[in-house]
Amino acid sequence: MTTTQAWKIRPAGAADASTLAALGADMFRLTYGHATPAEEIDAHIATHYGTAIQEREIRRPGTTVLIVEAEKPIGYAIVVSGTAPPNFAGPPGLEIARFYIDRPWQGTGVAKTLMEECLQLAAKRSHSIVWLLVWEHNPRALAFYEKFGFVVAGETPFPVGQEIQRDWIMIRRLDH
């Protein structure tokens, strides 16, 4: 995996589950907290970010979790092979199911390197597409993904507790 002097990227293991649960919950709260009621955020976190849930994700076949560490964990990505976006007629690809970098590290090159690792995994696994969902009200993430060649290919509802948000489906085709 990738190492710089300030941080490194490595595959996560089951022992990282509680760390990922806490980091994911914090990142989700930072992303959605300003626009979604706290009780809806709490409900979503309870059903998507617990330690046992993260451990199952780490162990799920076809899934790779990449964790970024400096002096402490500062981000992670979950990639899942063999999935297709909602209402997509093409072949299954590699889904970037989560992609989080803690705010103090945004703009430092960490996200760029982590995305490059995700795309390399897709190429190694011979996927022809990489896809992800991104909240329509997250312009910084949209711009970041567009820089990597992702394009909006549709939309899908994204429940946060009882509230329904809208996510853009973004796809990047890979040349082999």
Q: Report the b/e string of 127-149 with b at 16+ CB within 10 A.
A: bebbbbbbbeebeebbebbeeee
- Please report which helix (H) or strand (E) contains residue 135, including its range: strand 129-135
Residue 95 belongs to domain with CATH number: 3.40.630.30
Domain contains 24: no
Number of structural domains (the chain) is: 1
Residue 31: per-residue pLDDT: 86
| pLDDT for residue 142 is more than 60 | yes
Q: What's residue 89's pLDDT?
A: 82
Q: Note whether residue 151 is domain-resident.
A: yes
The answer to whether residue 49 is domain-embedded is no
pLDDT digits (tens, 9 = 90+) for 50-108: 999 999 999 999 999 999 999 899 999 999 999 988 888 888 899 999 999 998 999 99
Asked whether residue 52 is domain-assigned, the answer is no
Q: Within a domain: residue 95?
A: yes
Rounded to whole angstroms, how far apart are CA atoms 96 and 90?
17
Q: What is the pTM of this model?
A: 0.91
Range of the domain at 144: 61-173
| Domain assignment of residue 67, yes or no | yes
Residue 20 located in a structural domain: no
SS3 content of the chain, % helix, strand, coil (to 5): 40, 35, 30
